[in-house]
């Protein structure tokens, strides 16, 4: 399941880049009432492999809803940040918003690691991740097995950054 979730954002980002909000897929706004992707998937009966849905209209609907919900959840996260960080994000100056800010992003790694360890996650490393569309994410490596339920208990965002999780559990077991 983690492989599906970890590759999900890449496929959705590509789709959103190609289609944007003006894709013509007529959808309602019911998905915007959820406080997490997991709640949306359960509440709207979205299949876990929705990016591979054989019906292209249904697949596009799921992907668009996911992208809109993700942006909504990120906006909610940003609204909790100090005003200076909110302004930096609005102006495109936050360290998460460009690879050229990588040096400014590095100091966020240790506080995220401390926070995750306070939540009981065994963290091997938190590092800067160079992500699609010139973004910086915080990449968390853990030896723990992370399934979708556990992933929902961990933050998706931290101080303006998206957080990505990599479990080395299955890698270590196969060696």
Domains and CATH numbers, the chain: 2-79 (no CATH), 93-174 (3.30.300)
State residue 5's pLDDT score.
44
State residue 29's pLDDT score.
80
State residue 171's pLDDT score.
73
Q: Per residue in 90-103, is it b (16+ CB within 10 Å) or e — as a string?
A: eeeebbbbbeebee
Question: CA separation (Å) from 80 to 18, 53, 68, 142, 160?
Answer: 30, 35, 19, 27, 10
pTM of the model: 0.77
Helix (DSSP H) and strand (DSSP E) numbers for the chain: 8, 4
Give pLDDT tens digits for 6-55: 455 555 555 444 454 444 444 468 788 899 888 899 999 999 889 999 99
State residue 133's pLDDT score.
87
CB 157 within 8 A of CB 135: no
- Rounded-to-integer distance, Cα 152 and Cα 42, Å: 12
Instruction: List, for the chain, all residue ranges whose pLDDT scores fall below the cut of 50.
Output: 1-6, 15-18, 20-27
- Rounded-to-integer distance, Cα 105 and Cα 95, Å: 5
State residue 129's pLDDT score.
95
């Amino acid at each position: 399941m983690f492989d599906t979730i970890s590759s999900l954002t890449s496929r959705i980002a590509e789709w959103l880049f190609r289609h944007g909000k003006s894709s013509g897929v007529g959808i309602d706004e019911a998905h915007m009432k959820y406080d997490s992707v997991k709640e949306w998937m359960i509440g709207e009966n979205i299949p876990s492999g929705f990016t591979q849905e054989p019906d292209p209209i249904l697949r596009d609907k799921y992907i668009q809803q996911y992208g809109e919900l993700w942006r909504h959840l990120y906006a909610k996260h940003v609204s909790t940040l100090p005003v200076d960080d909110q302004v930096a994000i609005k102006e495109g100056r936050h360290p998460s918003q460009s690879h050229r800010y990588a040096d400014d992003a590095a100091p966020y790694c240790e506080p995220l690691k401390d926070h995750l360890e306070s939540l009981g996650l065994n963290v091997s490393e938190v590092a800067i991740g160079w992500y699609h569309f010139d973004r910086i994410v915080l990449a968390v490596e853990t030896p723990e097995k992370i399934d979708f339920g556990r992933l929902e208990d961990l933050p998706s965002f931290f101080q303006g950054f998206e957080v990505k999780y990599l479990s080395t559990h299955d890698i270590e077991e196969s060696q």
